[in-house]
Amino acid sequence: QVQLVESGGGSVQAGGSLRLSCAVFGYTPTTYCMGWFRQAPGKEREGVATIDSDGRPSYVVDSVKGRFTISQDNAKNTLYLQMNSLKPEDTAMYYCAAAFGVFGGGCPRRVGSYNYWGQGTQVTVSS
């Protein structure tokens, strides 16, 4: 069984920064994808950034390019999302997710491709 636990969310003013963490508990194979997703009220959940088991980012949504960075620390079994220059439109519940296996073409951004999900952490950015 795999458990993902996010932390690091909060309320910040526009232009501020937050770092989200996702601790992974339980079995993880040598090959996997992990990702950060977000869901704003009334909107569908969307992929923000994904990363493979070698630590290579696969996908970053255009709206956060140059501001958000996905990374992982395998020794700590932890996934991170560094968020800088935050904007009010970044306000959402942020989720981390994991998918096991080999994915041709890099780690997917589709919600349905991920099997394991955390409970989410709220990020609120005020103007």
Question: Distance (Å, rounded) from C-alpha 2 to C-alpha 83?
Answer: 26
pLDDT score of 120 = 98
Average pLDDT estimate for 39-43 = 96
Beta-strand relationship, 46-52 and 57-60: antiparallel
Cβ–Cβ under 8 Å, residues 48 and 61: yes
Residue 1, pLDDT > 90, answer no
Residue-averaged pLDDT of the chain = 95
